Amino acid sequence: MTCKGICGRHKAQKPVGSGRYASGQRRCQICEIFINWEGLWCPCCGYRLRTKPRNLKYKARLRARKKLQEVYPEKPIPVQV
């Protein structure tokens, strides 16, 4: 799976007023390019294309858990002398 340069023919221009994914563009992680392509797979390298931005929900959950830890810190373990 390597870039063969075909993706350059499908290169997507940066949309005005909306996000790239919102306007139907897809991202290839291998070619590191946004393309106008209907399929799920990159026409160039054959790798699965990304159709959505990174999962924001997951990040939010991680943040929430961190906050919880700050509210309920673990009890300090008494040190025996």
Note the residues at the interface with Zn ion (CB under 5 A): 3, 7, 28, 30-31, 42, 44-45
- The smaller minimum CB distance to Zn ion, of residues 15 and 30, is found at 30
Residue 72 is which amino acid?
Y
**52 closest CA partner among 12, 30, 13, 21:** 21
Q: Write down the least CB distance from residue 8 to Zn ion, Å.
A: 7
Q: Write down the least CB distance from residue 19 to Zn ion, Å.
A: 20
CA distances from 11 to 7, 28, 37 (A): 6, 11, 9
- The smaller minimum CB distance to Zn ion, of residues 5 and 60, is found at 5
